[in-house]
Amino acid sequence: MNSKEYLSVLNPQEVALCQAFGEILREEFRNRSTAEKFHESETVKNRIEDVISESFEKHEPENYNDLEFSIYGDDYDNSIEIYIKNHMPYPYEPCIEIRRAIYDLGFDIVYWNFWDGGELDSFGGKKYTEEIRGTEPRRYKVSEGRSSAKLCQAVWNKWGISYPDERFDGAKWIGSKYDCRSLRKCQ
């Protein structure tokens, strides 16, 4: 239950108390030092990393031992970006249980970025050329088909997803352990 749903079942006095308590918490947060906010953010980041690691250990133990990743977030869309640093070849996607555990942390969208095992960038870093955007299937970040509005519309009409890339086999993906469309907040 989100906060709006919770407030909708309270009487006006309870709503006023919740709102007043929220304002007290916001004021306390505003009064914290930068150092305190920094340390709290590190604690939160560690907890998120633990949830990801524990989910892989529980639901994909075959990938857990070699798993290397880093995380970043964007507040404008309440998202998390997970960069998988070890090579996990296509068509690999994290199973729905792992993805659900991350969404359950409160993120609106989860972006997965994959290294294709290929070349490094000019600074010696890995190039993350493949992605999963939210509940969509894995795809190349740059693909010819994604620039065709007609092709994108055809894929949306048939599968209910954005254009993946030429490797996608909807008959195998739809209903598989990778099909995470049920995690969408807006259907």
Mean pLDDT across 182-187: 62
Mean pLDDT across 157-180: 82
- Asked whether residue 141 falls in the same domain as residue 178, the answer is yes
Return the HEC string of 106-163.
Answer: CCCEEEEEEEEEEEECCCCCEEEEEEEECCCCCEECCCHHHHCHHHHHHHHHHHCCCC
CA dihedral defined by 155, 113, 67, 56, rounded to 10 degrees? -50
- Asked whether residue 141 falls in the same domain as residue 153, the answer is yes
- Asked whether residue 13 falls in the same domain as residue 38, the answer is no
Question: How confident is residue 58, by pLDDT bands cut at 50, 70 and 90?
Answer: very high
- Asked whether residue 63 falls in the same domain as residue 103, the answer is yes
- Report d(CA 179, CA 187) in Å as an integer: 14
- Asked whether residue 79 falls in the same domain as residue 142, the answer is yes
- Asked whether residue 23 falls in the same domain as residue 56, the answer is no
- Asked whether residue 7 falls in the same domain as residue 89, the answer is no
- Asked whether residue 149 falls in the same domain as residue 64, the answer is yes
Other beta carbons within 10 Å of 162: 14
Q: How far is CA 181 from CA 35, 159, 175, 184, 187, in A?
A: 40, 10, 9, 6, 9
**Residue 6 in this model has a pLDDT that exceeds 70:** no
Tens digits of per-residue pLDDT, 106-164?
999 999 999 877 777 777 778 888 899 888 888 888 877 767 777 778 777 777 777 78
**Exposure string for 30-46, b = 16+ CB within 10 A, e = fewer:** eeeeeeeeeeeeeeeee
Q: How many domains is the chain built from?
A: 2
Domain around 73: 34-183
Tell me, what's the pLDDT at 186? 43
Question: How confident is residue 185, by pLDDT bands cut at 50, 70 and 90?
Answer: low
Residues above pLDDT 90, as percent of the chain: 33
- Asked whether residue 17 falls in the same domain as residue 50, the answer is no
Tell me, what's the pLDDT at 49? 96
- Asked whether residue 26 falls in the same domain as residue 61, the answer is no
- Asked whether residue 63 falls in the same domain as residue 123, the answer is yes
Tens digits of per-residue pLDDT, 78-107?
999 999 999 898 889 999 999 999 999 999
